[in-house]
Chains A and B, each alone.
Chain A
Amino acid sequence: MPEDLDPVIHAPARLRVVASLAALGRGDELAFPKLRALLDMTAGNLSTHLRKLEDAGYVQVTKTHEGRMPATYLALTDKGRTAFADYQAALMDLLKGAQ
């Protein structure tokens, strides 16, 4: 059963990243510092997890400039949204099985 749970999402830190981004509307992006503050993670730690999520195709990382300052925006991809929905459905199945 646990192999039904997506290992990319099933790590507490990445789960919180994905859950936060899934709370945004489709087509919305969140600035890196805002996400970092929301998760209370260090920038290095968050970057590491974001890279894994990006490699899996779950998160889209957009690097841009605001004035002269570089800015990074994160968004859940459609693939990421589907993976998160599947993950939650798998958890619900596990809960029902446990009762």
Chain B
Amino acid sequence: MVSDPTAGTPAGAGQDGDGGALDAAETLRLIREQQERARDATGPDGRLLFGAWGLAWLIGYLAMWTTARTAGLPAAWAGWVFAGCIVGAMVFTIVHSVTRTAGVRGVSARIGAMYGWTWFLAFLGLGVLLGAMGRAGAEPEIMAIAANGFAALITGLLYIAGGMLFEEYRMSAVGGWMLVTAVVAAFAGMPHTYLVMALAGGGGFLAMAVVEHVLRRRRRSTSARTEGGVRSA
């Protein structure tokens, strides 16, 4: 079945024992659609992950900011709201990524697992570090600046690293933005450091979720248009 004598129609239509004839444009469209489906089924959806973290930072840090603005320090309930948001986004990220990548094994699964553990270890390290600073007598304002600045710094660096690992350069761009956020949040001082984290940090993630969504829709409509044009030509 190496060369098929019945295949002689124009525009690449070929007969095959296992299926009907396909023309070149139709075949290319089929390939693109199938690959898009395969990527959706085997990798996390950037829109959902950016969206979850954007909401978590926005709501969590806004709760910290509003109470710190009136009382000087964030209220205990705001701390719980913040912790709940972060834990929620974390659980969502893990469940979503594990579900999507189930059934894939090999290099990317190993890299993905190492990447996930790096996040865990980095923030565990940050928690211990902040604990040590508190024990050494650091003022609440210093603690707040350190917590926000380092959190944004770690997030920024890991996003840049993720962009390099997965060749998703928009991810690196978000990482760069988070480094800017870290610096601005550190200089904003109390209580506005929380507002910077909410708006620049959370807002940055949410903006990226929108960008991902727009790019995705544009990619789909462009490929549909291109092939429509070729087919009618």
Contacts and interface: CB of A to CB of B under 8 A. Distances in A.
Interface of A: 1-3, 5, 7-8, 10-16, 19-31, 33-35, 37-38, 49, 73, 75, 88, 90-92, 94-95, 98-99
Nearest to B12: A94
Contact of A24 (B18, B102, B104): B104
Interface string B20-54: 10101101101100110111011000000000000
Contacts of A27: 106-108
A3 B4 contact: yes
B95 interface: no
B124 interface: no
Given A7-B2, A15-B31, A98-B233, A30 B104 contact: yes
Contacts of B7: 2-3, 5
Contacts of A28: 104-109
Contacts of B105: 28-29, 31, 73
- Of B3, B24, B25, the most chain A CB neighbours within 10 A belong to B24
A5 B8 CA distance: 12
Nearest to A4: B12
Contacts, number: 127
Contacts of B30: 12, 15-16, 19
B17 interface: yes
B15 to A, nearest CB: 9
Interface residues of B, number: 41
16 contacts: A2-B14, A5-B12, A7-B1, A7-B3, A7-B16, A10-B14, A12-B18, A15-B30, A20-B35, A20-B38, A22-B35, A28-B105, A34-B42, A95-B24, A95-B25, A98-B24
A23 B103 contact: no
Nearest to B13: A2
Contacts of B35: 19-20, 22-23
Contacts of B233: 98-99
B34 A20 contact: yes
A16 B22 CA distance: 13
B230 A24 contact: no
B137 interface: no
B16 A29 contact: no
B11 interface: yes
A38 B30 CA distance: 14
Contact of B103 (A3, A31, A75): A31
B9 interface: yes
B3 to A, nearest CB: 5
A95 B9 contact: no
Contact of A95 (B38, B39, B230): B230
B180 to A, nearest CB: 31
A20 to B, nearest CB: 4
B25 A12 contact: no
A47 B128 CA distance: 52
A73 B106 CA distance: 10
A6 B27 CA distance: 13
Contact of A30 (B25, B37, B42): B42
